[in-house]
Amino acid sequence: MNFDKSKPYIFFSYAHKESEIGMQIIKGLQKLKFNLWYDEGIEVGTEYSDYIAEHIDGCKVFVCLMDENYIASRYCRDEINFAIDNPGIDILVIYKKELKDLNIPAGLKMRTSRYQAVFLNRFANLEKFMDSMLKADILSPCNSSL
């Protein structure tokens, strides 16, 4: 895993049901030399982990792959609420598609400098999407090649 806790890093969050696309994005971000932390077992466990909270608290950017499965997951809701409540964390939301009726957490409804959104379905393929990630200002502090 490409992770150095001493450098600014991205905490990547996704619903277990979205693990296939989530892992593709994670591998793409690692290939682009982003300092990235994720927990493959986020959905497994019976209670919210202090270990996860500590890693969210220490990250520079919180990225979540948002869709209906993410909203339905209590673990994902705990994670994003923790990030929203921490003013030192920038938040990037990757929407798989544009959903007008998605029940977005209240803290994300306010458009602030801490929040950016990208829409996966606006790109022809994952490679073009990853190119856009490389250009996302909000992620640049976590890129070890810059």
Cβ atoms 14, 22 nearer than 8 A: yes
The one-digit pLDDT tens for each residue of the chain (146 residues) are: 467 888 999 999 998 888 899 999 999 999 999 999 987 654 455 456 777 888 899 999 999 998 888 888 888 888 888 898 888 899 999 988 776 666 676 666 655 667 788 888 889 899 999 998 888 889 999 988 75
pTM recorded for the entire structure: 0.86
22 sits in which H/E element: helix 19-31
Structure token pair of residue 111: 């458009």
Alpha-carbon span 81 to 27, nearest angstrom = 25
Cβ atoms 11, 37 nearer than 8 A: yes
Structure token pair of residue 113: 């400098």
Alpha-carbon span 126 to 25, nearest angstrom = 8
Largest CA distance in the chain: 39
